[in-house]
Amino acid sequence: MNRTYLGFGFGAIQSGLFLYEAFRSGNFARLVVAEVVPEVVDDVRTAGGYWLNIATPHGIEKQFISGVEIYNPAVPADAGKLIQAAAEAHEIGTALPSVDFFSRGTPSIAGILRAGFELKLQDKTLPDAVVYTAENNNHAAGILEQQIGLSLKNRVQLLNTVVGKMSGVVTAAEQIQNGGLMRVTPSAARAFLVEEFNRILITKITLPEFRRGITVFEEKADLLPFEEAKLYGHNAVHFWIGLHMRRAGAQFMHDISGNEKIFISARRAFIEESGAALCRKYSDTDALFTPAGFAAYADDLLIRMVNPFLTDRVDRVCRDMERKLGWNDRVIGTIRLVLNQGISPVLFAEGAALAAVEFFGKDAGRIRAGFETLWGVWNVETETVWNEILFPLKKLPK
C-alpha cells in the first residue's frame, strides 16, 4: 500500500484506465498526475479528485477517484514534485496525444523522467519501476527510452501497450446532461466517458522480482500480433462502420441498430478479410489467431463499438482522415495486409473509396494524386492497392 503511481497526461485513457485501475487496486498510497492546463489543475485540486463515467452494457456507472495529486510541469515547484514522484514511483503511465509530446515543453516529460530516474539510479532504496506507454505507437517505449537517454540498469523498464479500451472526452453540454454524465469536476466543462473493458496487453516485464500493483493488465512476450489485431481489426472496422454510418446520415455509432445491413457487412469485413489475414499471418501464435478465437474477438468488439451508453459520435470516429488514410494506418494498412495474405479486400476497399471521396472529392484523378502525395511513393504495391480502391470507387454515385 506504500506504492506510488505517476501519470502524464490527464485525458480519458489516463483518467479512465491507468489512474482508475491504480485507484481501485488499493495497492497505491499516492496517485500523482501531470497536466499542463492550469484550469484543470486548479479544478482537480479544489475537488480533491475527479469523476469518471463508465459505460457498461446496462448503463452508466459513476466513480469518484479521490486522493489525486495533480501538478503542472510548467510551474517550477510542480516540476520538482514530479521529478521526485518519478524517483519514488513504482508504476508510471504516459497517455499523450502522440509520441511527439515526449519532448515538448520545458521541462519535457522525457526530461522529468530523466531527472527522476537519475535519482532512482543513485539510490538503491528507491523502488524499481515500469513505464506503460499508451500513445498508440508500437515503438513508443523505445522512443521514450531513447529520449530519456539513460542506461536504466535493470531498475526501470519501459513497456509498450495495446489499449483496446474505447474512451472519450465529452464536451457538449447537451450530451453531458442528456447522458446523465458527471463532469470531471463540478466546475469543469467536460466529462470523461470510458467503457468498462480493461483487458490491456503490455510487454512482458523482465525486471527481477518486480510485481505490479495494477494487476489487471496481461503480459505478452510479443505484442506485435496484438497491435496489428487492434489496428487492422478493431480500429479498421470501427472506422469502416463510422464511414458507412455517416453516409447513412447517422449521428451516433449506436444508430447502427436500425441498419442491419451495415452491421452484417462490418462483421464480414472483420472476420473474412482482416481476421482471416491476421489468422494466416500469426497462426500458432495465440488462441486469438484461430477462426474461433478471432470470431469471438470480433463479435465482442462489434457489440462494444456500438454500445449506446458510450454515445460515440460518428464524426469523432471519422475525424483525422489524412492520418487514417495513411499507408500504414487502419484503412490502407488493412488492405495491404489482406492482399499480402492472398485474400481479396472487397469490403475494406469499399470503405477506402468512401473515405477517399470524402477527403479528396469525387474525381478519380484527384483522388489518385491525393494518395500519391499522402503515401509519398508510387510503385507496384501502391498501384495494386489503388486498383483495389478504384473498382468500388467507380460504383459510387457521382
**Model confidence, pTM:** 0.92
Per-residue confidence (pLDDT) for residue 396, from 0 to 100: 81
In 3D space, the residue among 212, 204, 101, 117 whose CA is nearest the CA of residue 155 turns out to be 117
Report yes or no: 92 and 131 within 8 Å, Cβ to Cβ.
Answer: yes
Assigned C-alpha cell, 205 = 516485464
The Cα 105–Cα 73 span in angstroms is 8
Per-residue confidence (pLDDT) for residue 1, from 0 to 100: 62
| Domain boundaries of the chain, sorted by first residue | 3-221, 225-395
CA distances from 192 to 164, 201, 229, 261 (A): 17, 22, 26, 32
Three-state DSSP class for residue 245: helix
Residue 161 identity: T
Check if 3-221 and 225-395 are the same fold.
no
Bridge partners (DSSP) of residue 131 are 92, 158
Assigned C-alpha cell, 314 = 460518428
Quote the DSSP letter at residue 183: P
Architecture of domain 3-221: 3-Layer(aba) Sandwich (3.40)
Residues 6 or more apart in contact with residue 5 via CB below 8 angstroms: 18, 19, 22, 28, 30, 31, 32, 89, 90, 91, 92, 93, 213, 214
* CATH of 225-395 given 3.40.50.300, 1.10.645.10, 3.40.50.720, 1.10.1040.10: 1.10.1040.10
In this structure, how many other beta carbons lie within 10 angstroms of the beta carbon of residue 272?
16
Peptide bond into 107 cis (omega under 30): yes
Bridge partners (DSSP) of residue 64 are 51
Residues of the chain with pLDDT under 50: none
Per-residue confidence (pLDDT) for residue 251, from 0 to 100: 94
Per-residue confidence (pLDDT) for residue 395, from 0 to 100: 83
Bridge partners (DSSP) of residue 193 are 53, 168
Residue 104 identity: R
In 3D space, the residue among 324, 168, 163, 299 whose CA is nearest the CA of residue 242 turns out to be 324
Quote the DSSP letter at residue 99: G
CA distances from 60 to 176, 193, 194, 302, 351 (A): 12, 9, 10, 19, 32
Assigned C-alpha cell, 103 = 519532448
Per-residue confidence (pLDDT) for residue 257, from 0 to 100: 86
Quote the DSSP letter at residue 204: P
Residue entry with cell 487492422: 232
Report yes or no: 79 and 6 within 8 Å, Cβ to Cβ.
Answer: no
Report yes or no: 112 and 80 within 8 Å, Cβ to Cβ.
Answer: no
Full DSSP string of 277-335: HHHHHTTTT-GGGSHHHHHHHHHHHHHHHT-GGG--BHHHHT--HHHHTSTTSTTHHHH
The Cα 366–Cα 82 span in angstroms is 50
Q: Please name the residue ranges forming H helices in 68-223.
A: 76-88, 109-122, 140-148, 173-178
Instruction: Summarize pLDDT for 357-383 with one digit per residue, the tens.
Output: 999 999 999 999 999 999 999 999 999
In 3D space, the residue among 121, 99, 135 whose CA is nearest the CA of residue 14 turns out to be 135
